[in-house]
Structure 1
């Protein structure tokens, strides 16, 4: 629009197009009126592959080729060894989500394969337009001749079919055959989704990634042999890399289930067999029985075994894994893993379900105690000959940032994860196993979030070794992959940080630093738990001082906010836990415990200030930990939290809020002292300015939300008796949009819009 060569007519047309976009945005309801199904989440997530990742990946790999060429490496990256791979939990994460059923998992897998076939079909048509050359290798000529002979024999309409592709265009002949087979592949997936069956023979479709790569590789070889290597290394090479990365399923679906659900299944089986209750057995008894069954061949149960709905759901999930193509799935992740038997249990259930190629089993250690025992768990597994043979020298372990932080506070959780990774690597080296760490990071600092580059560089030495897995949460996927240039930058940061960590690893902490961190972690955990879990007033304060109870009205996702309907903070998921404190700009899970730890560390010895300062200057892990908390303080405002207290919290709970705000200010003071800053974000003026510009708008939304929550709770009998403003006349549009709300017209819509606005302003949800 602002280019000099734009004509007056073109500018007018651009103005009108911009007006249409703005008007369409204003006329679109910004509130999701119903909870999305897992399939809806999958479609939304997969749209990023279609819009940005599909084209962004080959562009990034081409840039890597250019960088390698710049340092004297003549060969391009091999197309059949994907540098980056994508997986998904959408439709596979059934941990505490009853809406993710075996049928949902099947539908999601078929839908992903349909999307992949659509993308491949479109790409093949583009290649057919591009590869018009007549000159080719003898190998390609022979393949085309075979295709012609087969088609003459099988098709009654040979003449009509071939007249569209002249015989002197061999590449188009081969690609045309692929296009027809992709059409069948796409239609078969469509029929299976619609009817559960298809009249298209499996032999007439692509069933493996290698079946697509082989003819593409033939085209590439032919072009190279006939002097057309620049053409071969263009769109054709990009497509070969896309096929190698995405496969026929676009993304591999990880299955996640809670360990206790597997215990229920095995308890049902042992009771059916009349050998006792698996749940009541000791860990040693469980391992002995599991290993004896894994080494044997007898079936454990028949169709007459009585099951509950929950047990049947787990068994049916394994059946779906067995039925679908193996490239649909990635890992089987066990949440709340605590012991070796949790891993062996899944291995046994996979064998019992006759899964042709069992999924790799990944324990997820989440609670502080589980992280502490994780090295011993892995050591025991590696000491089992059967298991060591099963994993073939490779093991993946996932560590959970969200639940560990909710369990012990962020400082203690971060330090325990650091130590656990070090010990896990030592165990893996002892047994000569290649270990891949899977980092279950959330979008916020309280759930392990933060700048990607810094997060990777702050990991312990020797824990990455050229490969790692990380989660990109739905709440921040737009920031990472919303535009093609963002996709490129995200891939660039992951790759650069991984390489830098390997070639220039961070220093190992000195013994003195370790001792001080151990000391502070104990204090931080005690402080955190004394308030969150042991203070009888805390749960009620949390639920009245924050919009936690109203969180579910946003319909953010398909999963319930709690693993179990009843229960307190323990059963609450990390996302609503962090979300609630983020909305009030208090961010309690991030800093609680840190202030007490720093204070006692400074008081414990006169030299500890210098030690902490050296840790901040020289140790990436400690510096990143402190800097991220400082960034959260820049987004926080205890005065806003006080406003919520004054409007929403009963009088008898207000002293607790005052106590917490004192701890907030104390923590902030100690943090600035350690960082040797006179003001928050002193070392990051750019971010400080951006936050300063957004702060007035966010504050206005906070004030509106606090008063809206007060009126909503008063109508349900949960409010306090404080005065609210008199200008509460609702807008007319929300009345029409949400006429069935139990609140006064406009209140619920206002509350939801303020939640979304605050999250957008702070750039975090949960």
Structure 2
């Protein structure tokens, strides 16, 4: 496949261009050899025609494309789609490698640390005059957690990821200095084999994923990135702190950055997440962690061949070695190896006890299992101290250092699994428990005040509501079972195994207290001493809920009984904010503004009550779901909203892009930590922008809300337009997730999940959730303003991080939108009048949004200030656009009588390829 790029390529980007050309050529050769010259020629002809259409909406190109695509057989179409889809994946690999290359180039040149790195954050802290004590305090109390989720937009198969990792390794080889002719030939053959393997591997799953499959997929990224790169992050940070400040007293930082997961615990709308699934998910996680420890211990034993005739050891180390079941004469004078063999034996016994797992390498003998990961860490610490005090400190700074940190980070549970359920389910469960235990209590009919009083009274009693002798409904039985399983996981795998209980659709105090009552039922809330084992986190999702969340939390924190429980959790209350549903509810601009205002209001309420706020941001990968660059997003939070603690969802649609490559993954983790440090220490009480900015934003939001709601919810026929002009129906049937696309069996926009809503608009290249309403809002606001209205908006963009980030994200989304391609999807709408009416409204709004964005940002074109993304789009869109054209043709066939397995497969392949090409907007 040809991979020509623009001629004016900066010198620093030439290697990227060369990589894309190389991979494109190998893919083209593979298509030629596997499918024949005719298929290759079709692929190239479609690409060239698509480029003509993309550049000028050339009508002759449109008709030529339609003619080419109509002439293809289903089998030919699938081959063409696979070619373009794989090119998108290969372009992603080349871009990731280029980011790594540029990072290394900056490091080798001794460049100043770049934004988003801990080095930059620490430099800024020093410039601001922060003391070592202030940094100590930050790290001691900080809590940062990316939380992996599984959603029906993750289209990557593990088999494909494995081959891509091999390709990434081979591309990295090419950057490590000149190769000999033999090495060059070997590398090229490796690339060719990997691309051939890709071509001969199915991109699609043949069956729908089960939840356990999603758990397994999520664990893949621990192999790639988390288990090794997180310990390296801490080691590098500790070393940097000591270099910056020789008086730095702390040798080892607290583990403030830890992993979380919703996979296996998020049952909101997913009936397949059950108690057995949660239990199995935790066992799988535990197995992953312990297998890693065992492998590292085996390697560590090979490294530490130190002989006691040559070195001294500490008394605790000697005791550890003597307790070991390793009595071989060959290792009699190798105390470290004997000690490690004993640790290995105990850990292998732990694996059998916890997970029923037999280690790949059998232990040298029997030993008692560890009761807690802290016991394992204590034994490793003995080795560390013995090496350090006996002249072998350098040996402690390698594998052992990383293993000790890994045990501290991952324990026997690997990652904290959050529980999540809808408040309606909690309400029905509590109502049934009351109805059985006290029939006179008609909980479902009570007012909010009556419910609060009744729930508080229940929290004071030690007697349970539920009885083991009564058969409850399937729903109530399931809810109690999963909570009991969570309690069991905490007992078996450690208290970090399950820490948080998230309540979807929370809109009142009773929603939080209902969960407290259910936790009491399973022994995770203790009335006698007023302690609580889990954090209860309400999730405020809709525009109305965001507007009311501060009032709800104010009332909750005013309850002495709840405050007592909160004190047992360290005086920290978590609140989750939903980006996806608020966007679907009110549009991009209003969602962003209401989230910002909600944070300000929450900060004030929590300060009033003297409670520490931890915000959990339910962000998606796409801008329409609150996505966008994490660094800018965190720094754009209002003053006081971060406070050293933050949790952020990492959605299924972007996990592979962010964490499959170890170096890219570590950079993403570091960015979260760096942004949190800067937001907490450098802008902790940054004043709100001027009142004029707040008032302007309020008016802009009102106009945008009216425009968005007017189109999506108030326009007759819009629902029909959406279902016919996008791939939503086909996405609902794609085997890429365990969760249904809609909450109910309807086609109503209200019932559709936010994820497929955004995903569908991305597929047809309109990205509507990421910009709609902005253009008309700005125009309406300017119409009621004096001549300096645009000057005010430009000042807001220059001075207000929130507004600047909002517009930057919109700039990205609009650059990936394409009206010409979207017009082809509009042709799928069966009602011509409806099609013309709605598409023309969308076209006008998009054009107005682009015009207003460029005026405010003072750019002559989109992405003028983001050359990296502009380059990415220039490289990939000639190969992405054809997939859209093919998808339109396949949808026409699929929805007519000319449908079949090959057509459906082709549609699913285009969905995969477009998502790969769009990356964070897919």
TM-score, normalised by the number of residues in structure 1: 0.90
- 1:139 and 2:316 correspond: yes
SS of equivalent to 1:565:
coil
**Structure 1 pair 695–206 and aligned structure 2 pair: CA distance change class (3 A):** same
CA contact (8 A) 1:648 1:710 kept: no
Hey, what's the Cα distance between the residues in 2 that align with 1:409 and 1:527?
Answer: 9
Equivalences for residues 244-643 of structure 1 within 5 A: 244-272=408-436, 273-325=438-490, 326-355=495-524, 358-392=533-567, 393-505=571-683, 508-566=688-746, 568-606=748-786, 607-643=788-824
Tell me the equivalent position of 1:740: none
5+ long unaligned stretches in structure 1: 152-160, 194-201, 717-742
Instruction: Compute the displacement of 1:507 (Å).
Output: 5.3
- Verify the 8 A CA contact 2:721 2:829 in the aligned structure 1: no
1:76, CA displacement in angstroms?
A: 7.5
Q: Measure, in 2, the Cα distance between the counterparts of 1:288 and 1:171.
A: 61
* CA-CA distance at 1:470 after TM superposition: 0.7
Corresponding residue SS for 1:329: coil
CA distance change for structure 1 residues 319 and 686 in 2, over 3 Å: closer, same or farther?
closer
| Count of matched residue positions in the alignment of Structure 1 and Structure 2 | 720
How far is the alpha carbon of 1:423 from its aligned partner?
Answer: 1.3
What is the Cα deviation at residue 587 of structure 1? Answer: 1.1
User: Larger relative contact order (C-alpha < 8 A, sep ≥ 6)?
Assistant: 2
Counterpart of 1:730 in structure 2 is none
1:711 aligned partner:
893
Partners of 1:128 and 1:176 within 8 A in 2: yes
2:205 paired with 1:49 = no
- Going from structure 1 to structure 2, the CA distance change for 1:164 and 1:632 (only over 3 Å counts) comes to farther
User: What is the distance in 2 between the residues matched to 1:707 and 1:77?
Assistant: 63
Moved more, 303-312 or 103-112: 303-312
Q: State which drifts further: 348-357 or 8-17.
A: 8-17
Q: Does the aligned pair in 2 maintain the 1:553–1:752 contact within 8 Å? A: no
1:752 corresponds in structure 2 to 908
> What SS class does the counterpart of residue 766 from structure 2 fall into?
coil
State the Cα distance separating 1:189 from its structure 2 match.
Answer: 4.0
- 1:444–1:450 CA contact under 8 A, matched in 2: yes
Residue 221 (structure 1) aligns with: 385
> Which digits, 9 at most, give the CA deviation of each residue in 1:519-553, with x for residues without a partner?
11122112211221122211011101111111123
Deviations 1:477-525 (A, max 9, x none): 1222111111221122112211222233265211111111111112211
Kept in 1, the 8 Å contact 2:321–2:342? The answer is no
Aligned position for 1:666: 848
Write the distance in 1 (CA, Å) between the matches of 2:543 and 2:184. Answer: 60
| Distance in 2, Cα, partners of 1:558 & 1:76 | 49
Partner of 1:680 in structure 2?
862
- The C-alpha deviation readout for 1:147-183, integer Å capped at 9, x for no partner, is 26xx6xxxxxxxxx41166343332222212101111
Cα distance between partner residues in 1 of 2:636 and 2:179: 49
What is the alpha-carbon distance in structure 2 between the residues aligned to residue 26 and residue 164 of structure 1?
54
SS in 1 for 2:441: coil
1:307 offset after TM fit, Å?
2.1
Does the 8 A contact of 2:541 with 2:582 survive in 1? yes
Shift of 1:744: 2.8
CA distance in 2, matches of 1:267, 1:420: 30
Instruction: Return closer, same or farther for 1:186/1:139 CA change in 2, 3 Å cut-off.
Output: closer
Cα offsets for 1:597-628 (capped at 9, x unmatched) = 21111111113221111000110100110111
Return closer, same or farther for 1:305/1:567 CA change in 2, 3 Å cut-off.
farther
Please tell me the root mean square deviation across aligned C-alpha atoms, in Å: 2.1
Q: Match of 2:672, SS?
A: helix
**Alpha carbons 2:418, 2:501 under 8 Å: kept:** yes
Q: Quick check: 1:545–1:649 contact (8 Å CA) kept in 2?
A: no
- Please state whether the residue corresponding to 2:729 is helix, strand or coil: coil
Partner of residue 919, structure 2: 763
Whole-Å separation in 1 of the counterparts to 2:551 and 2:903:
53
State the Cα deviation string for residues 400-439 of structure 1 (Å, max 9, x = none).
1000111111111111111111111111122221111111
CA distance in structure 2 between the aligned counterparts of 1:493 and 1:4, rounded to whole angstroms: 28
Alpha-carbon distance in 2 for matches of 1:517, 1:39: 44
**Partner Cα separation in structure 1 for residue 399 and residue 587 of structure 2:** 49
Distance verdict in 2 for CA 1:164–1:605, change over 3 Å: farther
Contact 2:238-2:253 within 8 A present in 1 as well: no
Q: Which moved more, 1:551-560 or 1:398-407?
A: 551-560
Mapped partners of 1:651, 1:434: distance in 2 = 56
Task: Say yes or no: does 1:69 pair with 2:242.
Answer: yes
Q: Is the 8 A contact 2:501 2:534 kept in 1?
A: yes
Q: Structure 1, residues 173-205: CA drift from partner, whole Å, max 9, x if none? A: 222121011112223344389xxxxxxxx9932
- The change in CA–CA distance for 1:567 and 1:313 in structure 2 (over 3 A counts) is farther
- Conservation of the 8 A alpha-carbon contact between 2:707 and 2:776: yes
- On the 8 A contact 2:224/2:659 being kept in 1, the answer is no
**Distance change >3 Å, CA 686–CA 81, structure 1 → 2:** closer
Q: Give 1:764 shift.
A: 3.6
Structure 1 CA distance for aligned equivalents of residues 693 and 862 of structure 2: 25
For residue 371 of structure 1, report the CA deviation from its aligned partner.
0.9
Please say which of residues 490-499 and 631-640 is displaced more in the overlay. Answer: 490-499
Q: Quote the residue 1:238 is aligned against.
A: 402
CA distance in 2, matches of 1:745, 1:67: 57
1:236 shift after superposition:
1.7
Contact 1:31 1:554 (C-alpha < 8 Å) held by counterparts? no
1:710: how far off? 0.9
Please say if 1:695 is aligned against 2:695: no
For 2:522 and 2:510, the matched residues in 1 are separated by: 18
Comparing 93-102 and 671-680, the one that deviates more = 671-680
* 1:665-685 CA distance string (max 9 Å, x none): 122212211112221112223
TM-score under structure 2 length normalisation: 0.75
Paired residues of 2:265 and 2:417 also in contact (CA < 8 A): yes
Question: Closer, same or farther in 2 for the Cα pair 1:386/1:174, shift >3 Å?
Answer: farther
Structure 1 pair 89–77 and aligned structure 2 pair: CA distance change class (3 A): farther
Aligned twin of 1:211: 375
Name the counterpart of 2:353.
188
Deviation at 1:303, TM superposition (A): 2.3
Equivalent in 628, 635, 644 of residue 825 of structure 2: 644
Cα shift at 1:10: 4.1
Q: Residue in 1 aligned with 2:302?
A: 129
CA-to-aligned-CA distance 1:80-137 (integer Å, 9 cap, x gap):
7103100111111111011111111110011111111101111111222223333211
3-state DSSP class of the match of 2:420? strand
Distance (Å, rounded) in 2 between the aligned partners of 1:518 and 1:15: 57
Structure 2 residue aligned with 1:93: 266
For 1:170, the equivalent position in structure 2 comes to 335
Unmatched runs of 5 consecutive residues or more in structure 2:
1-172, 359-365, 526-531
Contact 1:87 1:330 in 2 (8 A): no
Q: Are the equivalent residues in 1 in contact too, given 2:657–2:919 (CA < 8 A)?
A: no
For 2:896 and 2:552, the matched residues in 1 are separated by 51
**Residues in 1 aligned to 2:505 and 2:329: alpha-carbon distance in whole angstroms:** 59
Residues in 2 aligned to 1:577 and 1:592: alpha-carbon distance in whole angstroms: 14
- Matched-pair contact (CA < 8 Å) for 1:207–1:248: no
1:317/1:203 CA distance change after superposition, 3 Å? farther
Quote the Cα distance in structure 2 between the aligned partners of 1:207 and 1:87: 23
User: SS at 1:245's partner residue?
Assistant: helix
Cα distance in 1 between the residues matched to 2:876 and 2:697: 35
Distance in 2 (CA, whole Å) between partners of 1:65 and 1:76 is 11
